[in-house]
Structure 1
Amino acid sequence: MNFEEAIKDVARRSRHNAEIAETEEATKMAVIVPFIRALGYDVFDLSHVVPEFCADVGIKKGEKVDYALKIDGKVAVLVEAKPFSTNLGSVQYSQLFRYFTVTDARLAILSNGREVWFFSDIEEKNKMDKSPFFKFNFENYDKFQLESLQKFHRDSFDLDAVLSTASVLRYSDLASGYLKRQLHDPDENFVRFVGKEIYDGSLTKGVVEQLKPSIRAALESIVRSEISEKLGVAFQPAVRPEVQVNQDNADVLSVALEVVTTDEEAQAFLIVRAICAEIADVDRIFIRDTKSYCGVNFDDNNRKPVCRFWFNAKSVKYIGLFDEERQETKHEIASVSQIYKFATHIRKTVSAYL
């Protein structure tokens, strides 16, 4: 299988074993070893993968790292595994820090079978950074993240390119986090930075407070415009169906023109597309809006429903899911983000159409 298929296989293993692999060893066998293999390493060849790697020089005696990945006889990557139940944000991984300084490795991987965190020495050479430069989530990844992950494949491994990528990913991630915070609640420095370009007078504290809601609204408008521009083609068939006007179908046209795909329905559609991306080409996932509900179909075929959004009521929202007999069951949701709770069911429905 190719790289994308190999990662999909690991993602499937992660979902399947998340609740039953209770120990670190079980997590290793279920996901970590298949993931190392997906990166191009022969897990049965000690010149590729050394389990329980130990390097006592200058560090605590007898301490081991779960795996050392080798290229051309040298340790290139250190791998530390944790159980599925582990929160990587609070876990201790002191072995990786110590081993980073006494081996040739410039990369370290920490994983709990759900997420994979990549570390390097961007801040200070030969000293592992305290925060990862790249995070990969088997349950939720996109094409860009998959392409970034492929750069760590053994067959195309280029340390200089990887370290360059690490620097870009780290700072782009930090920049993304900063911009997200500004989108939600612009701070004074950011408002003043933008204010210098749009306001002629003195930026007093009162002026800054007046500008703040305008700048936040502008940021939200830019995001909406970008989404609308990039995804307009995907929604166009549902929002503006082509109907030839004549006396016989005048009523049909009247109903069609009343159909408006809301922002929530559009967001829900994107979530379903992301869920389906793991097993199918997203171009085969179509939105089909109606006056009563907003439907998602496979291959734009009404006989292949994926799910339905019942968002028209003012006080409650439902997602309609289908069983093997195409019978629909509605489930109440508080927000569109809760659609991810039904990811397994949605993928199962789509799998039946493949």
Structure 2
Amino acid sequence: MRHTWRWFGPVDKVTVTDALQAGVQGIVTALHHVPTGQAWTIEGIRQRQAEVQAGGLAWEVVESIPVSEDIKTQTGDWRDHIANWQTTLRHLAQCGIRTVCYNFMPVLDWTRTDLRWETHQRARAMRFDLVDFVAFDLHILKRPAAAEDYPQPLQAEAARRFADMTDDRIAQLGRNVGAGLPGSADGYSLPQLLERLRSYQGIDAGRLRGNLVDFLAAVVPVAEEVGINICAHPDDPPWPLLGLPRILSTQADYAHMLGQVNSRASGVTLCSGSLGARADNDLPAIARAFADRIHFVHLRNVTRDADTLPCSFFEDEHLAGGTDMVQVIAALLTEEKRRRDEGRADHQIPMRPDHGQEILDDLTRGAQPGYPAIGRLKGLAELRGIEAALSHPQRGIFA
């Protein structure tokens, strides 16, 4: 696999040179400062490429070109936003970038109640606490009809949890849940979040799937034309939130998407952590099922508090948690060998160690939550060890 590293631009407290020293081969980034819906200019793309190259690496994967809420709801300026997305693909291709990750999560991107939760090893990790989230929905956000979404015992537990919350914790929970895309300046106050939720009234899972298909029908031909692979990131967590549908949470969801616009240019960002938050998602099986359409990989692991749906979970060490990482990597190496045998130029799948626990000097660096230097370096080393063992010419099965 091609070992990559997410970088949030010059404001990132983990530098490109840090990534180079960690042993990665390429950078994953985006123009986070460009407002959602606007096209990225060639000048802006080349400037970011120069910033990455100054640190000793190259910009190889885009994560992400944001898909606007107008596109997801097919309201407002959605047609202009799709046209700008198409333009951005053309400009990226002119600059030599061939892989673009995106997501289609309504309103919220990845959602956590805790950004620096302390583990039993005294590392800090991101966590989704279901009781805290329900307390937020019912008692902080006060979303209309929220009680219809939760069983009575869970509501009662959330009420007790909320009664014990300090003002600081209430404010922190609002900030954590309302955060926008990682690296962006987006985010919602409570009134803004309620207003955005209202914009999805009447949009169920079926309609949102249709809007995704319409979006892909418009942008995939451009991706084919310019030689770019686009790949959809799964929902995180992979179940409905705040009354909103989520449509890329399971193997069946991805099969529907790929079947509706059936092109190799449209594929999957396999995120083992996002999909792994559901006990009914078999990650090695999903990797095998969509192997030829996997264009980008996020490898991380989560430990669930229960196998119910939904559930609480935290982001564990890369080789801990509920996903068999050895089997996932074996499936990816099998696909890479198949592509090499076919003579494909894109046989090497870009992978990044997704997220990471804050350990050692990470605890004082203050980097983007989930993206520490040493925690990701540790994860990358572990993942590379699996890959090296499986590929070793003497004992490996993919040599």
Query: Taking structure 2 as the reference length, what is the TM-score of the superposition?
Result: 0.23
If you compute each CA radius of gyration, which structure gives the higher value, 1 or 2? 1
TM-score calculated relative to the size of structure 1? 0.25
